[in-house]
């Protein structure tokens, strides 16, 4: 039997807070309970926002919490060539297209009257207009040759047609991981998502599915905030012929104001808590573990 594999995959673009502590500790607890592996993956594709200092902070915080993980740690920024190979395949198969509109151009394109009815993705962002998808190949080449900035977007209609079936994933019902239910994947809700940028040959979605497969991750345990993004990731897995892990999207740790914690909320940062004399044991209690 192959070993069950869990992973904690933070982005070093800020300091870890109680929400990350819960996610990491829950992965540790579940991996231990089934005698599985725990991997740590550094998701640092956004090289403008990520830094070695934040990465060092992640290691310090996790060690303090009592976490151990396998070496070597996969650092996504060291594997751009790997993602590029996968992206090239999607380009060759006509499943992505260069999208030239910036955020403000998208806003300008959606006129006042349309604004109310324009479809929005589950994060509330207007979905990408179907303009660039229709551009003739010659015009695309011309703009790229001129150095126009663009991102590679997944043609979700073409992708769904290629897959030719409805998609779903298996979601564990609770932390006991004893039962799963089938969840319908709804990648169309996101419109044509970005799968790569001109200067970074991947996106969060693409790197996650490639790495989860490459690292043999069988159990993706992460926050509820990524629940509907799983639909996009299932579609990419299917297009690329990658295995599908089972998922558990855990509760989020909320701040005193009842809102999701963010990396800028200093008072729930792990380093700040540690310096204030809070122990790793206290953190477990604070997150309900
Ligand atoms: N890197 C992502 C984050 O920091 C998590 C990715 C995942 O668990 O799939 O939110």
Cα Rg of the chain, angstroms: 20
The whole-number pLDDT of residue 211 equals 98
CA distance linking residue 122 with residue 79, whole number of Å: 29
CA distance linking residue 149 with residue 85, whole number of Å: 21
CA distance linking residue 171 with residue 227, whole number of Å: 10
Mean pLDDT of the chain: 94
DSSP label at 233? H
Where are any strands of DSSP class E within 87-217? Answer: 96-99, 151-154, 168-172, 180-184, 194-197
The whole-number pLDDT of residue 263 equals 64
Number of the ligand 1 atom closest to the C-alpha atom of 208: 9
The whole-number pLDDT of residue 115 equals 77
Q: How far is the CA of 44 from the CAs of 10, 23, 97, 204, 230, in angstroms?
A: 8, 18, 24, 9, 20
Compute the distance from residue 205 Cα to the ligand 1 centre, in Å.
10
The whole-number pLDDT of residue 258 equals 76
Which pLDDT tens digit goes with each residue over 66-95?
999 999 999 999 999 999 999 999 999 999
pTM: 0.95
Residues of the chain with pLDDT under 50: none
Strands 151-154, 194-197: pairing kind: antiparallel
Name the residue of 5, 215, 226, 244 to mutate for ligand 1: max ligand atoms within 8 A of Cβ: 226
For ligand 1, atom 2, name the residue with the nearest CA: 10
The whole-number pLDDT of residue 266 equals 63
Number of the ligand 1 atom closest to the C-alpha atom of 8: 8
Compute the distance from residue 23 Cα to the ligand 1 centre, in Å.
10
Is the distance from CB of 249 to CB of 224 less than 8 angstroms?
yes
């Amino acid at each position: 039997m192959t070993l069950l594999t869990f992973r904690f995959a933070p982005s070093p673009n800020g300091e870890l807070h109680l929400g990350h502590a819960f996610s990491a500790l829950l992965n540790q607890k579940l991996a231990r309970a089934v005698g599985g592996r725990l991997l740590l993956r550094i998701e640092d594709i956004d090289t403008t926002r990520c830094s070695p200092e934040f990465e060092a902070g992640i290691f310090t915080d996790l060690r303090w919490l009592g976490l151990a993980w396998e070496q070597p740690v996969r650092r996504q920024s060291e594997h751009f060539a790997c993602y590029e190979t996968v992206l090239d395949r999607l380009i060759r198969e006509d499943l992505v297209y260069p999208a030239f509109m910036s955020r403000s151009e998208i806003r300008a394109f959606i006129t006042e009257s349309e604004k109310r009815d324009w479809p929005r993705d589950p994060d509330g962002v207007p979905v990408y207009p179907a303009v660039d998808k229709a551009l003739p190949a010659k015009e695309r080449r011309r703009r790229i040759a001129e150095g126009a900035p663009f991102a590679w977007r997944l043609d979700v209609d073409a992708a769904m047609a290629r897959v030719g079936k409805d998609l779903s994933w298996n979601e564990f019902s609770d932390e006991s991981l004893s039962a799963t239910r089938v969840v319908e994947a709804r990648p169309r809700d996101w419109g044509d998502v970005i799968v790569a940028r001109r200067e970074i040959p991947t996106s969060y979605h693409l790197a996650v599915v490639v790495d989860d497969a490459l690292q043999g991750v069988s159990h993706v345990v992460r926050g509820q905030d990524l629940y509907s993004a799983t639909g996009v990731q299932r579609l990419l897995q299917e297009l690329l012929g990658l295995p599908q892990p089972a998922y558990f999207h855990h509760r989020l740790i909320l701040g005193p104001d009842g809102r999701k914690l963010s990396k800028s909320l200093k008072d729930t940062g792990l380093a700040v808590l540690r310096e204030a004399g809070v122990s790793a044991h206290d953190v477990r209690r604070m997150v309900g573990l």
